[in-house]
């Protein structure tokens, strides 16, 4: 018997972040026990406690699945071993007649990293008595010619984008991103109310078909273009999105792979392993990368995307950062903005009933590395290197027949709209130079979060997605003194606006912030001593502690003599 030799085990170096606690609902439509949920999450410790407390290892949920079935769905090898040791039946069948091994083979994404985990799990299950034949992964049937023909061809995609620009010149603008390996043009379409202008608004993007054989996302992108342009005149919600955002859509990132019917580009490279990565390729440069990757990188270098998503097929789930970690182990690897990503991911999945009710992923979302680890993915690159929030959305287990495109559109339209609307939350504003009034290329960091976003230097606008709460923000720009603004209140509604001016480092006692300590600072200094609130209103770009010349942390009468001395220098 072959031992799935092709399923090589991967080992890499890494930093491991702990999974946030996720409480299992006390009751749910799946009829699952706490042990079911612990197995699905891969929490071996909780499984051990529940088993020790007498929880039934053989209990079946509404789908006829035991905790071992759920561990197998998520390729949780350590949990599966613990359940088997407690007496779980490796030959138990769910209502579809599938054993845990058969379910694992069908649920496993076709990625080398995940296949390696399937191999390890299969060995454990087979050793415990599972039928080895259940490990055979069923091949997805190829689309019938008539179904494939009903999808857009690349020539039709190009024609649709050209038509959108021609029919809606005030809303749509095509951009040539560059050529592919085989000389095809990569296109992006921008949709906004003043589409030729740079404005103070979040930039967002949907990108599809970086794997050329995953094409349902392409149809969703084209559907969204048609929906936004056709309904702009009459639908207030569409108007608000188009007027408030700069929406970018790249329906096909891998035209050669799409035309050739292959996952990879014409060089045989997986584009979703070709981006800079802190662990494998840390320099943020397009040099030495595939031309399609370089085209996307160069395009994004010219803008500051607040929010984006890339569409795939291979499961039905929203996958959020991080995808990579230092160890190469499939463990929950949280980003500094884990709370934001969970919320935004659920904003997508909650309106897609099949996704939200996934039997495999709670609420239809997953941390990427908790599912399986990849290096060089576009999602982590966008977040780590570019400061944008990006997720990977798996729309279908495989490419559906064209007869189901409308069904997929109906399931995803509201999700696509709701996800874009998350870009309008958090904190936003414009950062300009205090002396010239010009926009600044600045960084914006939430104190204690360890993640930086960037202003768009054309306008100076920044858009920092945050959940409701109180935050301190640090602003920095070359040649300017950094500033920290404290106690910024973020609500669940529209983004809190905080405009800011930065300027050259200010000498002590320069109470009007004009770059010099002189007689013009006397009245502002007196105001700071007597009415700090009034000083803050009249000099919003100045730090009142410039008047703390004796360094005791207060602006008071003890600073008068040092202030006079500073004037005399």
DSSP string of 538-558?
H-TTS-GGGG-TTSSS--SGG
Distance CA 391, CA 553 (A): 44
Distance CA 422, CA 186 (A): 27
Distance CA 32, CA 10 (A): 32
- Compute φ and ψ for 156, nearest 5 degrees: -70, -35
**Beta carbons of 99 and 128 less than 8 angstroms apart:** no
Distance CA 111, CA 376 (A): 14
Give the list of residues 6+ apart from residue 127 with CB closer than 8 angstroms, or none.
none
What Rg value do the Cα atoms of the chain yield, rounded? Answer: 27
- Nearest Cα neighbor of 94 from 122, 121, 123, 73 is 73
Tokens of 386: 């570019």
Tokens 């104190």, residue located: 447
Among the listed residues 113, 158, 201, 394, the single catalytic one is: 394
DSSP string of 422-456?
GGGSSEEEEEEETTT--B--EEEEETTT--EEE-B
- Compute φ and ψ for 368, nearest 5 degrees: -60, -50
The CB density around residue 326, as the number of other CB atoms within 10 Å, is 15
Beta partners for residue 453, in sequence order = 444
Give the list of residues 6+ apart from residue 1 with CB closer than 8 angstroms, or none.
132
Give the list of residues 6+ apart from residue 335 with CB closer than 8 angstroms, or none.
320, 321, 322, 341, 383, 451
Distance CA 448, CA 286 (A): 31
Q: Is 489 helix (H, G, I), strand (E, B) or coil?
A: strand
Give the list of residues 6+ apart from residue 447 with CB closer than 8 angstroms, or none.
471, 472, 473, 474, 484
Whether 476 sits among the annotated catalytic residues: the reply is: no
Distance CA 11, CA 496 (A): 44
Helical (H) or strand (E) element with 483: strand 483-490
Give whole-number Cα distances, 207 to 222, 448, 462, 494, in Å.
11, 31, 22, 25
Tokens of 273: 């392993």
The angle that helices 44-52 and 34-41 make with each other, rounded to 10 degrees, is 160
Tokens of 362: 């709670």
Annotated catalytic residues are 394
């Amino acid at each position: 018997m072959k031992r799935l030799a092709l399923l090589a085990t991967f080992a890499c170096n890494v930093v491991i972040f702990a999974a946030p606690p996720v409480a299992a609902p006390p009751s749910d439509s799946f009829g699952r026990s706490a042990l079911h949920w612990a197995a699905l999450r891969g929490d071996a410790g909780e499984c051990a406690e529940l088993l020790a407390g007498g929880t039934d290892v053989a209990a079946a949920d509404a789908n006829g699945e035991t905790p071992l079935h759920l561990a197998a769905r998520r390729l949780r090898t350590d949990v599966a071993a613990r359940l088997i040791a407690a007496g779980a039946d490796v030959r138990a069948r769910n209502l579809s007649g599938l054993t845990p091994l058969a379910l694992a083979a069908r649920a496993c994404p076709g990625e080398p990293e995940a296949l390696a985990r399937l191999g390890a799990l299969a060995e454990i299950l087979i050793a415990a008595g599972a039928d080895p034949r259940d490990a055979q992964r069923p091949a997805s049937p190829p689309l019938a010619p008539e179904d494939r023909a009903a999808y857009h061809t690349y020539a039709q995609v190009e024609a649709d984008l050209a038509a959108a620009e021609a029919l809606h010149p005030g809303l749509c603008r095509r951009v040539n991103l560059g050529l592919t390996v085989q000389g095809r043009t990569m296109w992006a379409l921008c949709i906004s109310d003043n589409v030729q202008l740079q404005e103070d608004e979040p930039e967002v993007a949907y990108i599809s078909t970086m794997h050329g054989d995953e094409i349902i996302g392409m149809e969703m992108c084209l559907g969204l273009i048609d929906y936004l342009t056709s309904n702009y005149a009459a639908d207030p919600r569409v108007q608000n999105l188009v007027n408030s955002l700069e929406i970018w859509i790249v329906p096909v990132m891998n035209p050669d792979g799409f035309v050739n019917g292959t996952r990879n580009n014409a060089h045989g490279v997986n584009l979703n392993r070709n981006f800079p990565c802190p662990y494998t390729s840390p320099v943020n440069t397009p040099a030495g990368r595939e031309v399609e990757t370089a085209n996307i990188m160069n395009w994004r270098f010219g803008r500051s995307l607040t929010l984006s998503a890339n569409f795939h097929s291979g499961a039905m789930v929203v996958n959020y950062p991080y995808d990579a970690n230092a160890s190469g182990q499939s463990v929950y690897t949280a980003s500094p903005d884990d709370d934001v990503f969970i919320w935004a991911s659920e904003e997508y999945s909650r309106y897609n009933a099949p996704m939200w009710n996934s039997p495999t992923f709670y609420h239809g979302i997953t941390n990427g590395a908790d599912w399986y680890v990849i290096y060089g993915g576009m999602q982590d690159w966008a977040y780590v290197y570019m400061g944008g929030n990006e997720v990977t959305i798996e729309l279908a287990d495989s490419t559906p027949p064209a007869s189901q495109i409308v069904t997929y559109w109906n399931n995803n339209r509201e999700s696509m709209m709701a996800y874009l609307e998350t870009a309008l939350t958090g904190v936003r504003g414009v950062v300009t130079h205090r002396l010239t009034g010009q926009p600044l290329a600045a960084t914006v960091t939430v104190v204690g979060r360890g993640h930086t976003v960037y202003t768009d230097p054309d306008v100076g606008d920044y858009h920092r997605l945050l959940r409701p709460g109180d935050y301190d923000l640090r602003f920095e720009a070359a040649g300017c003194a950094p500033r920290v603004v404290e106690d910024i209140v973020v609500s669940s509604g529209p983004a809190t606006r905080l405009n800011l001016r930065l300027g050259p480092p200010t000498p002590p006692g320069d109470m009007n912030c004009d770059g010099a300590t002189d007689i013009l600072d006397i009245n502002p200094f007196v105001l700071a001593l007597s009415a700090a609130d009034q000083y803050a209103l009249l000099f919003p770009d100045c730090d009142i502690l410039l008047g703390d010349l004796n360094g005791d942390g207060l602006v008071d009468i003890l600073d008068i003599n040092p202030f006079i001395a500073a004037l005399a220098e």
